């Protein structure tokens, strides 16, 4: 049952990475109520099938709506790339027609193309100088082709070159030594530059919410002058503008966010503090899905 007396903005992720997004959101919007749900019990999503990712994402969003959220941000690139569009078009209008779900993929596409997010943008509407953008992301996000597809709709003059970083999120969560992480990032950066035949891109996107924690390693591994685009800051700017346009979805009355997990709070909380930048005490999720996830199971 929804908490009718108050509203919150939900932030959903498969694990810890979305805490970097939540950190930026709370800094940009300190007077809003946020609640975070980490699906640690089913993480990582990157090794799961698209159908599993979709079903788990729908279930997580449904639970956040049940807690009182009218708006949920998918702070997981894998969930946003695989599930967001289908969720918005099929499940959401039937289950929660007055609620909204946004994703971290959207602000990155907007930043690259200079165009607001619209579902059907004819190719060629955004004419500009040809340029090349590199994207570092998880294997599942790369396989989804979500970034190239959505950027291509809005800015066909932009060439998108992707580089999967299969082990990087795991190394970051394991708090691996900095030299180990730096070596892994150099390998991924070398892979991208090989695909680009040594010609530096105009910018690179860190397409995983874990990667901002090691942005310095990417900056050191890439040619000088390549711009780094990180999702937390862009997502915060995008959400701020979105709430100005949709005040009915706002959640005034800021306080310390609440943190929920489908895993074991005792194991989740210590690592979470590193991602969030301050204490992030998790509690067990006790809210079950309130409505049948249509098209999901």
Query: Active-site positions?
Result: 76, 208
The rounded distance, in Å, linking the Cα atoms of 247 and 125 is 29
| Alpha carbon distance 209, 13 (integer Å) | 9
Q: Using alpha carbons, list the distances in angstroms from residue 32 to 7, 221, 255, 266, 288.
A: 9, 37, 7, 27, 25
Nearest to 191 by CA among 157, 220, 223, 165: 165
Angstrom distance (rounded) from CA 175 to CA 8: 31
State how far the alpha carbon of 268 is from the alpha carbons of 19, 134, 157, 163, 284, in Å.
12, 32, 43, 29, 10
H-helix segments, 230-281 = 231-245, 265-276
The SS3 assignment for 133 reads: strand
Among the listed residues 236, 173, 266, the one whose alpha carbon sits nearest the alpha carbon of residue 34: 236
Cα(133)–Cα(155) distance, rounded to whole angstroms? 12
């Amino acid at each position: 049952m929804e908490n009718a007396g108050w509203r919150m903005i939900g932030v959903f992720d498969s694990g810890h990475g979305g805490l970097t997004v939540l950190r930026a959101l709370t800094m940009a919007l300190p007077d809003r109520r946020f609640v975070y749900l980490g699906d640690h019990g089913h993480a990582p999503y990157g090794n799961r099938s698209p159908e599993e990712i979709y079903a788990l994402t729908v279930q997580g969003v449904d639970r956040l709506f049940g807690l009182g959220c009218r708006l949920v941000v998918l702070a997981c690139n894998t969930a946003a790339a695989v599930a967001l569009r289908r969720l918005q078009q099929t499940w959401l209008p039937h289950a929660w027609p007055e609620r909204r779900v946004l994703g971290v993929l959207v602000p990155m596409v907007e930043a690259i193309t200079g165009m607001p997010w619209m579902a059907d943008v004819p190719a060629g509407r955004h004419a500009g100088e040809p340029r090349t953008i590199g994207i570092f992301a998880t294997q599942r996000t790369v396989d989804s082709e979500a970034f190239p597809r959505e950027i291509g709709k809005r800015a066909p003059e932009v060439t998108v070159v992707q580089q999967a970083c299969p082990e990087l999120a795991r190394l970051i969560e394991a708090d691996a030594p900095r030299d180990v992480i730096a070596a892994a990032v150099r390998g991924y950066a070398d892979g991208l530059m090989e695909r680009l035949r040594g010609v530096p891109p105009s910018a690179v996107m860190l397409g995983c919410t874990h990667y901002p924690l090691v942005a310095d390693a990417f900056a050191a591994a890439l040619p000088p002058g390549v711009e780094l685009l990180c999702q937390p800051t862009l997502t915060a700017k995008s959400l701020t503008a979105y709430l100005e346009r949709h005040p009915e979805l706002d959640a005034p009355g800021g306080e310390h966010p609440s943190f929920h997990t489908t895993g074991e709070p005792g194991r989740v909380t210590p690592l979470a503090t590193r991602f969030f930048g301050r204490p992030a005490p998790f509690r067990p999720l006790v809210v079950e899905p309130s409505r049948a996830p249509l098209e999901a199971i």
